[in-house]
Chains A and B, each alone.
Chain A
Amino acid sequence: MADIGYIALVLGFVVCICSAAVSFWGQMRKHPRLTAGAQIGVFAAFGLVTLSAIVLIYALMTHDFQLEYVASYTSRDMSWPYLFSAFWAGNAGSLLLWAWLLTFFAVVMVLWQRRSTKELLPYASSVVMLTSAFFLLLLAFIVNPFAKLAAVPADGNGLNPLLQNPGMIFHPPALLAGFAALTLPFAFAMAALIAKRKDRDWLADLRRWTLIAWIFLSIGNVLGAWWAYVELGWGGYWGWDPVENMSFIPWVVTTALLHSIILQRTRGKNRIWTIGLVIIAFNLPILATFITRTDVLSSVHAFTNTGMGPAFIGFMELGLIIPLVLLYVRRHLFQSEQKPAPTLSKESGFQAINIIFIVVSAIVLIATLFPLISELAGGSKANLGPSFYNIVVGPIFLVIILLIGICALMGWRHETALTLLRRLGLPLIIAFILGLTLAFATSTAGWIAVSFALCAFAACSILIEAYRMIRARSQARGENPVKALAGSLSGSRIRYGAMIIHLGIILIAVGVIGSSALTTQKDVSLAPGESTTLNQYTLTYDDLQSRSTGSTYDVRAILSVQNSGHTIGQLTPEKILYLDSMQPVTEVAIHSTLREDLYVILGGWSSDNTAQFTIMVRPAVKWIWIGGGFLLFGGLIALWAPRKTKPKTSEGET
C-alpha cells in the first residue's frame, strides 16, 4: 500500500518535469497539441499527488505503524480529526501537502483560464509544474513520508499534545496554501516576461492569484495568533518567534504586491516594483521553510535538522537567478515612460506604503536572522527579543494606519493640500477629540491616545469614502440610498473589498494596541475558598479537581467569577498531563467580551490544594479575531470582483 504512494510520488515528479518541458517548448514553437498534452500532464500530476496523499492519510487512519511517519505522529488513542491533521504535523507530510496544494492550484489555473491570457498559460503552468517537481523531488529522495521502520511498533509516539487543538486542523493548511499560492503570481509574471507582454490585461490573473495567496496568509497568521492565545498558555498571541516572523514577512510582501498591482493596473505605474515583489514573494516561503526546518535558528516551532538544506539553497538560487536574468533580458519592457506622481496623490501614497512595507519586511527579516548574522560577523550569538520588534515595528504600523486614512480620501493624480485638508477635516476633528479625551479625561498615556486617535481617523476616512461613493451614485441615478449601496457594492467590489480589509486592519490595530498597552496582570496563590480581585472582577477559588483518563491526568481549578458584584459564571483553568510523554499542557480559561478578556492560567498547586494563578485582563483582544474575519470577508469580496479592469480596454473580454 505504502509503495503505491511512493511510486505515485516518483511518477508525479516525472510527469511534472515532462509537463513543464512540453508545455514550454510547445508554446515556444506554437504547437497547440503539445501544450494541450502538457495540460493533461497537469491533471495527471494532480491525480498522482492526490493518490499519494490518500495513501498517507489511509495509513494514518488505519494505524499502519510500519511507516515511520505514522509511528512518529500518531497513536491508537487519537481521535480521527487529529489523526487526519497528523498528515501535516511532520516535515515530510507538510511538504506533501504543499506539493498537493501546488498541483491543485495548477489545475484550478488551467480550468479558470481567461481568453486574453491564454498564451501565457503554458508558460505559467510550466513554472508551477517545475516548482511542484522540486517538492516531489524532496519527497521522493530526501524526506520520504513513506519510509518504513525495520520493526513495527505496537503503538506510535502520538501527536505532540500542544498540537492537539482545533487550530492544528486549520492553521498549518491555511499558511501552506498561502505559501503554495504565491507560486502562481510568480508563474504568471515569468510567463508575461517570456511572452513579452506589455499590456495590463494579464495583471488580472496576477491580482487574482496574489489575492488568493493573501487571503490564505491572512487566515493562517490570524489563526496562528488565536491558537497561541488559547493553547500555549502564556497570555499572548504573538511572540515574534522566527517561524511567526517567517510567515508574517510573506504576508507583508504580498500586501505590498497587491498595492503595487493596483497601481499598475489603474495608473500603469510601478511595473518593475510589481515584478520585483512577485519574485521576492515567491522566494520568501522557500526561505522560510529553509530557515525553520534546517536548524539554522532555534525556535519553538523548529523542526530538527532534516537534511534538506542544500536542496533548498539550490532551489532558492534558481528561483532568484533565473527571474533576474529574465528581467535583465526583458528590461526594455520596463523603460520608464511616465512622469513621477505628484507629491499629493494616491499614487505617491501607494508608493510610500510600498516602501514602508518593504522596509518593515527587511527589518523583521534581518532581526530574525540576527543571531546568524552576528555570529557570522564574528561576535557571539545576539538575539533580538519581542521588545525590539514592538519598539521598531509598532510605530511603523501606526504610520501605515495614518496612510490608510489619508489615501482613502485622496484622489488619483494631483491634489492640492487645501482640498485634501478640507476632505480630511471631519476625520481629523474626530480623531483629535478622541485623542484629547483619552489623554486628559481618562488617564491614558500619550502614545496610546495618539495610537487610538490614528485608528479613529483612518476608520472615519474609510466610512466617509464609502458614504461619498454611495451618495455619488444615488445622486447620479436618482436611486434611494439602499439601492445605491447595493448598486455601488456590486459595481465596485474591489474598492469595497479594500475598505472592508482596511477596516479589519484597523480593528486588529485597536486590538493589538489595547491588549498590549492596557493589560493588567496579577500572580496570586489562593487556598480553597479564598478570593482575589483584579479590576472589577472578583475571582473565588472554589475547588481543585483531578481525574485521570486513560492517557492523561487532568487537574482543574474551579473559580467563580463576579463582574462588579454580578456573577458571570465559572472559569476552569486546567493542566493536563499526558502520561506517555509526561508533557503537561496548560489549558487556560478565558471569559471573553468585546470590551476585554479575563484570562486565567493555572500555574501549579501544592498538596494542601493551594493553587497558583496568573490572572490577566486584556482589553480588546476579541477585536483582533473580528478584524481577521473582516480580512477574509473583504478579500473574498475583492476576489469576486468582475474580471474587467476599470478602464474600458479594447482588448480583453467583456
Chain B
Amino acid sequence: METIQNIYKVVSNEQLCPQYWRLVFDAPQIIKTVKPGQFVHIRTNEAGLEPFFRRPFSVYRAQKHVEIFYDVKGPGTKLLSLKAKGDTLDILGPLGTGFVMPLQTTKQVVMIAGGIGVAPMLILSDLLKTLKYELVLIYGGRTRAHVYPLKEFKDNGVKVHIATDDGSVGFKGRVSGLFDKIRIDPKTTFVYTCGPNPMMKAVQDFAGKNGLKGQAACEEIMACGLGACLGCSIETTKGFKTVCYDGPAFPLEEVKFH
C-alpha cells in the first residue's frame, strides 16, 4: 500500500494576483486518486514546530501536477509563499470526502464561490466539462485585488459571473445579487458552493427555498486532517461531522452554518 504521507517537489509557486498564490508540486500518486473537493495537508515548517499545525488546502487542479490556490493569511501560508522550485514539502493527501456528482437529470451546474473558496471549483469543472453540463461560476470577491483572471474556468467553457463588494469588477454587491443567473429547476440544476459561511448560508437558503440540491465544501481549522482528533467538527443535521474526514464536501442542506 502506498502511504498517505510523502515528500513532494515544488514545481512552481507564483502570485496570481495581489491576493492569491498558486503552488504547483509534483505528486503523481495524488493525481492518480484525487477527487474534486478533496484536500492536501501541508507541513509548512518541516524543520520546526512553528506554526504547529499542518495547513489544509483544497486541490485546485490535478493534471500534470497538483496545484493549490491560497492566500497569504498567517505564518503558515507566509512560509508556503517562500517555497521555490525544487524545494520539498511534506504533504498528506489526498484527504477527505470530495464532492458527489450532480443528479442524473442535471443539465446546469452552478458553482458559487467566495474568495479562496473558488479553489475546489476548478478541479470540479475540469471533471464536469467532459460530461456536457452547462457550467456556471458565480464568484464573489471583496475587491478587484481578490478577483484573479479566472481564465482556466473560461477555458473550461464555464460561464463566469463576478460580484465584488466595491463594484470594482462585475456586479456591485454580494453573490446573492447574481442568483438570477441560476435556472430554478430542481430537476436540472445542481449547486456546488464553497466560501465564507454567511455566503454559503445564503446559497443554502436560496437552494432550500427553490428545492435545488447541492453540495457545500466547508473549511475549519484542522489538526490531524485524518479524522482522528475530531477537532474540526461542525454541526450538521446529522450531528457533529468532521470536515477533514466526513467532509469537506457535505450535502448543502445538512450543514448548519453559523
A and B: real partners?
no
- Name A's B-contacting residues (CB within 8 A): none
